[in-house]
A and B are shown apart, each in its own frame.
Chain A
Amino acid sequence: MTDAATTTETVFDVRDITLRFGGVVSLRNVSMHMNRGEILAVIGPNGAGKTSLFNSLTGVYEPQEGQIDFTNRNGRTIAVIGKKTHRIARAGVSRTFQASRVFSALTVFENVKIGAEDHGGIGVVGAILRGPATRRGEHASDQLTLELLDFVGLRKDANLIASALSYGGRRRLEIARAIATDPDVILLDEPAAGTNPSEKLELAALIRRVRNERNVSVLLIEHDMKLVMSLAERIYVLNFGGVLAEGTPAEIRSNQAVVEAYLGTSTNEGAA
């Protein structure tokens, strides 16, 4: 496993977050730590709070207790809790979704371009006048879009509408759209769900390339253990909203509590 890109610099520092919906506790005192450049996986049975954790990291949910700090590559640290999703996205946290959420009325090209564009300025005046700055911006985002379509292997489908892609294609499109925002970290929510074995292999290679070639740290939720064990450098196991274990794939595989709660023994496959 190439972990040349891994450093000891922190990207996410999650301290004791608790997330409740009324009386239901979705996350209980979860602490997590993510280093820049690593591929980190979060696993656990259904309802363990994996997607809740993702939504807390991206500002969709606001945990009632605890703190989440995100540090971007310029060394600026922001507190995630209480910030709007689009501001966290612009600070450098990008994500994909459990169910594919491409913009199906736009072309594949437009889907990626919309991520590549700068959504900072007001834009209306620029869009109407088409001044040199706007043209330069358009040109730059066009270039980046084409580069990323090459990167995920969708260049030939650039003019198709997004809904015409296969399921695996949509997943790759989502990844391209997410890295188009030039993020520090990308959160992948079950990227391999619904893909076939050969697509899974391609996907694993793509995720590794995202980290190695685009310098993006990867945090992923995945149920496919083969994929997780081969891809992740470190794993957090969630169960009933709390952290059950943390460690390298080898450590997790031999952890008795994890085996009982989630992985199952070889004689009792799949018992959760």
Chain B
Amino acid sequence: MRRPEVKRLVTVLMVMAMVTLMTGESGDASTPPTTGPHGAFFEKVSYFGLFRARRWMVFLTLGLLAYGLMFLYQRYSPPVRKRIRTVTATPKRLVQMRSSRFAVYAVVIVIALSIPHLVTQSYWMYLIVEQVGVWILLAEGLNVVVGFAGLLDLGYVAFYAIGAYITAWMTGVLPAPPLFHHAIPTLWVIPIGVLAAMVVGIMLGIPTLRLRGDYLAIVTLGFALIIDDYVGNQNGITGGGEGSLTVPHFSVNLGVWHYHWGLNPVPYYYLCLIFVVLFVVVFSLLEHSRVGRSWVALREDEVAAESIGINPLKYKVMAFAVGAASGGFAGVLSAGLVGNINPTMFQYQASINILILVIFGGMGSIWGVALGAVFVQVITSYMDNYQPWGFQINDLYMYIGALLIIMMIFRPAGLMPSRRRRREIKDFEETGEGHLDEVLTGDEI
């Protein structure tokens, strides 16, 4: 084995050792954890899991497994990838590529449509909408901002909050009276919520998007904290810490036909699916249009982009507004599904969680981000519900952190990287030009 391989293996095992030591049952001050030998010293040591043989075995095996799989993948994938890369766009090939792509879309749609029939438990269906569907929307929206335009937005959750609070406000369940003192059904809030998020995106973008990199990240973070503070403290307007417990569910009332969605998650699932497809189609059309190309140009080299007539501010604000749209919709959907909203749903941590999904899936890759969101969210929900290997929800971020570190070692561009991002990273590895962070975020450091 070559040296870098050994280095990687050691890193993976170290990450796993750290996870083993720092997670699991911790007990509390008066009742230390039950596993491990007793006695004053051993109690302290076992506190950090030093003597939990089973956990050690589980995590080290997982680490070795991950390493082995990635080793095999990287050894045997280059010839395959090389063949894909050299596919030139001859018309015949293009037709083949296009039809096989449509076949993939069809399979994905069929799977998505059959999920309500496969998952019969209402509880799990509910989790799929709330924990997966909503988060795909959030991740896809943030992907436009971070992945396409290369703007690090640490306050994306603010748009989610705006969608949710607009819903509560317009349906008349907040202390503040609804617009024109007339509550409207939740379903009709969708366009208003989306539009409101986009307008706020533009309003936030125009003054702040003149900043670059780290400065922009700090300003967006501040924005999210302001929104969080506002909804948490304006008791007379937003209901303060309690928020609202009575956001009405979606309902359709067309005179002759009346349908109330109530607590059944299936109709929410279909609504969510329709909008996920809509946003994915819109975002991928944008990615391959002159707007998407301008985003890449700005991300790669703002000075060169400006020199060919691209207005940086305009395209960045556009990315903010477009990205905000799906966040706003996710807020409306989530409020209507769960039926209650409160400030804890929209804290800073949520922004980071969305960013994790984007990075894990592959920045700038629509399919990668969707896949990453499904993967991380399903595993998280599963672990939370079944608690295998003594999983505790407090340790969630330890596991996610470990996952991200291992991901960055083997696949720095994410689970399913976008073609353009992969090129950037490849360019970096071959030429050694630039700083890798710069390559990843498109910012000058």
Contact = CB atoms under 8 A, between A and B. Distances in A.
Interface of A: 58, 60, 84-87, 89-90, 94-95, 97, 101-106, 110, 113-115, 117-119, 122-124, 126-128, 130, 134, 137-138, 141, 159, 161, 163, 177-178, 180-181
Contact of A104 (B286, B303, B312, B424): B424
Given A105-B296, A106-B297, A119 B290 contact: yes
Nearest to A106: B296
A119 B309 CA distance: 7
Given A103-B305, A124-B286, 5 more contacts: A85-B307, A90-B309, A94-B307, A101-B304, A105-B423
Contacts of B292: 127
A226 to B, nearest CB: 28
Nearest to B431: A163
Contacts of B420: 105-106
Interface in B278-329: 282, 285-286, 289-294, 296-297, 300-301, 303-312, 318, 322
A58 B301 CA distance: 16
Given A105-B421, A106-B420, A58 B308 contact: no
Nearest to B89: A159
Contact of A58 (B307, B310, B312, B424): B307
Contacts of A84: 306, 311
A92 to B, nearest CB: 10
B120 interface: no
A86 B293 contact: no
B308 A89 contact: yes
Contact of A86 (B89, B290, B309, B421): B309
Given A106-B420, A130-B285, A85 B294 contact: no
A170 B310 CA distance: 20
A178 B308 contact: yes
B290 A123 contact: yes
A171 B420 CA distance: 21
A110 B296 CA distance: 11
Given A89-B306, A114-B290, A105 B312 contact: no
B88 interface: yes
Q: For A85, A94, A178, which residue has the most chain B Cβ atoms within 10 angstroms?
A: A85
Q: For B318, B322, B427, which residue has the most chain A Cβ atoms within 10 angstroms?
A: B427
A105 B427 CA distance: 8
A114 B285 contact: no
B296 A124 contact: no
Interface string B416-445: 000011011001001100000000000000
6 contacts: A86-B307, A113-B293, A114-B310, A115-B308, A128-B285, A134-B289
Interface string B48-90: 0000000000000000000000000000000000000000110
A89 B289 contact: no
Contact of B311 (A102, A119, A126, A141): A119
B308 A94 contact: yes
Contacts of B289: 123, 126-127, 134
Given A90-B309, A106-B293, A127-B286, A161 B88 contact: no
Given A86-B311, A127-B286, A104 B293 contact: no
Contacts of B423: 104-105, 161, 163
A124 B282 CA distance: 10
Contacts of A126: 289
Contact of A105 (B309, B318, B424): B424
Interface string B207-228: 0000000000000000000000
A108 to B, nearest CB: 12
Contacts of A127: 285-286, 289-292
A103 B421 CA distance: 12
Interface in B169-188: none
Given A104-B423, A124-B318, A86 B297 contact: no
Contacts of A97: 303-304, 307
A113 B296 CA distance: 13
The 5 closest A-B pairs by CB, nearest first: A127-B289, A89-B309, A101-B304, A85-B306, A90-B309
Given A103-B296, A105-B421, A89 B88 contact: no
A113 B289 CA distance: 11
Contact of A128 (B282, B290, B308, B421): B282
B346 to A, nearest CB: 27
Contacts of A137: 290
Contacts of B291: 123-124, 127
Contacts of A90: 309
Contacts of A130: 285
A178 B304 CA distance: 10
Nearest to A161: B423
A272 B306 CA distance: 35
A53 B297 CA distance: 25
